[in-house]
Amino acid sequence: MAVASSLVLLASACGGDEEAGGGATTGGALEGRGPITFATGKDTSGFLPAQVSAWNSQHPEEKVTVVELPESADGQRQQMVQASQNKQDSFSVLNLDVVWTAEFAANRWVEEIPRDSFPSLSAAIPATIKTAEYRGKLYAVPITSDGGMLYYRKDLLTKAGVQPPATWAEMATACQKVQALPEGKGMGCYAGQFEKYEGLTVNFSEAINGAGGVVVGEDGKPNVDTPEALAGLEFLVNAFKSGAIPKAAITYKEEEGRRAFQDGKLLFHRQWPYQYALASKTDGSSKVVGKFAVAPLPGLNGPGVSTLGGHNYAISAFAKNKASAADFIKFMASEERQSANLQASSQAPAWASLYDDTALQAKFPYLTPLKASIEKAQPRPAVVKYGDVTAAIQEAAYDALTEKKQPKQALTDLQTKLSSLITQ
């Protein structure tokens, strides 16, 4: 959408090439072969070792060592930024969250990707490629996309005679009906990710977009102090106040919420697709196997809007073995690896046609709502100073949810802060 393009201008105003870290030889050849490292967030899927050993067995001279970083996006970024600032070759391939491209590219911590030598790009969902670009150049290769969905207890909704909700009000009514059943007694109604980290930026943005508001407008300017944004934030604040969102959810990142849903403690859960495979595991770790389904996120007056998530693989400017790094990325971006990952981990592939594969659709019914979620999803601001922008959003959202600030005040203050961070 338009936010992205106007923010490109903004990113250039924020320093861009002038802040060069001196690492990347932009547009230069990707040379050097040998062992490499791959820095990535905690592998919650458990499938990464299989992917990496498929590569390693075919490339004994170019083995990949996985460096597992923290579970939280903010913790991952911190370590990758640190290694880059120190110009270390500790991470050859970086698994970058879609929101970090501008920062890593502007600082020249990652190499430019020569589009012609990466065939997966022509098969990728166009929005995923946009997340890997900075000032018209490509700095990473889309591997997974991500879209939020509403996981719900199909068994209990059916028992209560209610349809999956399209609006927040319908969700509240559905909760009351299910909680009146003996099976629903004491269950939490709804949760998402509300701990003070990147997931809160996602959930806050979705609440605001779901009420017709924006964090940053189409003109690239912050515009979060509006009645629409207030309605979105109030949905979350009031749900915490009424207990519809359990108090404990203020400490939830993706994994804490997933465990609550799998333990049968939540009727509705806003979550990424990766939860589908884990909540379907028949090894005793999930109490909701076969009892849940997914629907689009609800909103104020109709279906809601997801924030666009996902991950792109980039080559560190400080890597010795850049040719091996590039080949490993090509391998992981291939249709075969993307399909294997989808089937094992239910993560959203960047490879577009996998969503339309009827055999996969039959086996993984979440693929259709997931595709719709990604197609409608709103990107977060593509700015070099994204770390400061997201910290400001997290603080405003957290202060409102914990009742430290009135929602209106939190939005007014956020507007002021974002206006000073995002200048054109």
Which residue pairs, CB below 8 angstroms and at least 24 apart, start in 387-393?
387/77, 387/81, 387/103, 388/421, 389/418, 389/421, 389/422, 390/74, 390/99, 390/198, 390/201, 392/417, 392/418, 392/421, 393/200, 393/201, 393/204, 393/205, 393/215, 393/418
Which of 309, 349, 379, 407 contacts ligand GLC by CB under 6 A? 309
Cα 274 from chain centroid (whole Å)? 11
Which of 97, 111, 225, 399 contacts ligand GLC by CB under 6 A? 97
- Binding part of the chain for ligand GLC, among 23-31, 95-103, 286-294, 350-358 by CB under 6 A, reads 95-103
- Binding part of the chain for ligand GLC, among 105-113, 237-245, 306-314, 404-412 by CB under 6 A, reads 306-314
- What angle is formed at CA 73 by the lines to CA 248 and CA 205, rounded to 5 degrees? 70
Which of 36, 73, 149, 370 contacts ligand GLC by CB under 6 A? 73
Would you call 191 helix, strand, or coil by DSSP?
strand
Question: Is residue 147 near ligand GLC by the rule CB under 6 A?
Answer: no
- Binding part of the chain for ligand GLC, among 178-186, 194-202, 319-327, 350-358 by CB under 6 A, reads 194-202
Q: How far apart are CA 342 and CA 323, in angstroms?
A: 26
- Given the complex with ligand GLC, which of 312 and 324 has the nearer CB atom? 312
CB 217 within 8 A of CB 418: no
Which of 91, 168, 272, 364 contacts ligand GLC by CB under 6 A? 272
- Given the complex with ligand GLC, which of 199 and 222 has the nearer CB atom? 199
Question: Is residue 377 near ligand GLC by the rule CB under 6 A?
Answer: no
Scored b (16 or more CB within 10 A) or e, 153-180 reads: bbebbeebebebbbbbeebbebbebbbe
Scored b (16 or more CB within 10 A) or e, 66-105 reads: bbebebbbbebbebbbebbeeeeebbbbbbbbbbbbbbbb
Question: Is residue 199 near ligand GLC by the rule CB under 6 A?
Answer: yes
Nearest of 87, 32, 92 to residue 67 by alpha carbon: 92
Which of 310, 369, 379, 381 contacts ligand GLC by CB under 6 A? 310
CB 305 within 8 A of CB 377: yes
How many of the other CB atoms lie within 10 Å of CB of 356?
A: 11
Which of 198, 225, 327, 399 contacts ligand GLC by CB under 6 A? 198
- Return phi, psi of residue 112, to 5°: -70, 140
- Binding part of the chain for ligand GLC, among 13-21, 309-317, 367-375, 400-408 by CB under 6 A, reads 309-317
**In the complex, what is the shortest distance from the CB of residue 198 to ligand GLC, in angstroms, rounded to a whole number?**
4
- Given the complex with ligand GLC, which of 38 and 318 has the nearer CB atom? 38
- Given the complex with ligand GLC, which of 31 and 68 has the nearer CB atom? 68
CB 184 within 8 A of CB 212: no
- Return phi, psi of residue 2, to 5°: -65, -30
Which of 103, 112, 146, 195 contacts ligand GLC by CB under 6 A? 146
**In the complex, what is the shortest distance from the CB of residue 65 to ligand GLC, in angstroms, rounded to a whole number?**
22
- Given the complex with ligand GLC, which of 178 and 249 has the nearer CB atom? 249
- Given the complex with ligand GLC, which of 108 and 311 has the nearer CB atom? 311
Question: Is residue 257 near ligand GLC by the rule CB under 6 A?
Answer: no
Which residues inside 174-193 make contact with ligand GLC, applying CB under 6 A? 193
- Given the complex with ligand GLC, which of 107 and 128 has the nearer CB atom? 128
The contact set with ligand GLC (CB under 6 A) reads 73, 97-99, 146, 193, 198-199, 202, 254, 272, 309-311
